[in-house]
Amino acid sequence: MQNLIDRLLAFAKQHQINVILSTTMSPNTPPAANPALNKVLINLNWPNQNQIAFQLAHELGHVLNNDAGILYGCTQASHNSIEFAASKRGIQLLIDLYFADIAVSDANSARFIHQLCIPSYLVNFTETQIRQHYETQLKQVD
């Protein structure tokens, strides 16, 4: 898991996104992003350590999507749409990094979903994106 987090941090650095990894926050403090400042805050005290890679990718998704930093003025529907888009962007990033060195014959979407604690509402999207990841790779080889 640390290798994937390191890859996400390298991606963030390459895209000039400042990631703050905090060990001083309460375990209940969620991660956050401020796209206007290209900053992401990750709580390393989070109770489920296996969720941190997905959280980091999700917050990077907010920055990459250039979302509004504060969603207080949003309706619930638009808030959900923004969060879903950030999750989708994060999953695409995770797939590209996680499966970069894994042959299609060794790819296991169930393991990926379980290891990274992908929420159930994103499972179908994730499986579709993994298939598309390998389809794209196969087209590039042809």
Residues 6+ apart with CB under 8 A from 27: 43, 45, 46, 47
The string of pLDDT tens digits covering residues 75-115 is 454 458 889 999 999 999 999 999 999 999 999 999 999 99
Angle between helices 2-14 and 76-98 (to 10 degrees): 110
φ, ψ for residue 18, nearest 5 deg: -85, 120
Confidence of residue 72 (pLDDT cuts 50, 70, 90): very low
What is the helix, strand, coil percentage profile of the chain, to 5?
60, 10, 30
Confidence of residue 134 (pLDDT cuts 50, 70, 90): very high
